[in-house]
């Protein structure tokens, strides 16, 4: 806090008597010195699912800022949806759904992988498809990564009442890594 204290003292030297009140009032808006430090990013996790938007140009530019970094792409199929389909309309239809989801997952992963490979910045890209609880899987997988980049629609379709899906909110609350939402 030494740097901030000095800046604040210089800026508000004429109003020193109310300095403590100003500092207290604006405390939430001031960055700490740790927050000003540019983090080292060598591993990026990008969760995907059927609701995820394609990576926008701004995310591609961000990824290009870290050449040679490891990028993990994970397509997650909701296990509860598979279970509900199996219980309501049968095993055969559940298997058809699962096959379609795997195919969509492979297409999504390949398209995203190509976007990153086209940067030609020696990114090490891994991709995988998992079945389970979307939030739990991402919370667990994020432990091995420096940053998480997730679509605001991850895990749910866009509804008019929410700008960000409830699953993304849950991930934000439980992951101790920086998260970029696109």
The pLDDT value given to residue 55: 93
Q: What is the mean pLDDT of residues 159-177?
A: 86
Residues 91 and 134 occupy one common structural domain: yes
What integer is the mean pLDDT of 140-154? 94
Report residue 161 as tokens.
Answer: 């009442």
Same-domain pairing of 47 and 116: yes
| pLDDT tens-place string over residues 53-73 | 889 999 999 999 999 999 999
For position 142, which CATH number holds? 3.40.50.620
Residues 87 and 117 placed together within one structural domain of the fold: yes
9 and 52 belong to one structural domain: no
SS3 124: strand
pLDDT tens for 6-43 read 877 777 667 666 777 777 788 777 777 777 777 789 99
In whole angstroms, what separates CA 50 from the centre of its chain? 15
Q: Which of 173, 166, 131, 111 is nearest to 148 (CA)?
A: 173
- Do 142 and 89 fall within a single domain? yes
The span from the CA of 15 to the CA of 17, in Å, is: 6
Instruction: Let me know if 126 is exposed, middle or buried by CB neighbors in 10 A (0-12, 13-18, 19+).
Output: exposed
Number of domains the chain is built from: 2
48 shares a domain with 29: no
> Are 1 and 73 in a shared domain?
no
**CA distance linking residue 18 with residue 130, whole number of Å:** 56
Residue range(s) defining the domain that contains residue 91: 43-181
């Amino acid at each position: 806090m030494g740097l901030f204290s000095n800046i604040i003292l210089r800026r508000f030297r004429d109003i020193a008597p109310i300095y403590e009140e100003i500092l207290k009032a604006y405390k939430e808006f001031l960055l700490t010195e740790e927050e000003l430090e540019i983090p080292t990013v060598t591993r990026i996790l990008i969760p995907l699912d059927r609701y995820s938007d394609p990576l926008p140009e701004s995310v591609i530019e961000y990824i290009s800022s870290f050449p040679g970094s490891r990028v993990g792409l994970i397509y997650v199929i909701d296990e509860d949806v598979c279970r509900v389909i199996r219980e309501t309309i049968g095993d055969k239809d559940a298997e058809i759904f699962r096959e379609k989801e795997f195919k969509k997952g492979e297409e999504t992963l390949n398209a995203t992988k190509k976007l990153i490979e086209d940067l030609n910045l020696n990114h090490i890209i891994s991709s995988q498809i998992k079945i389970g609880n979307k939030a739990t899987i991402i919370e667990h997988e994020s432990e091995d990564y420096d940053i998480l980049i997730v679509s605001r629609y991850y895990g749910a379709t866009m509804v008019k009442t929410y700008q960000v899906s409830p699953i993304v909110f849950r991930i934000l609350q439980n992951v101790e890594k920086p998260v970029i939402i696109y």
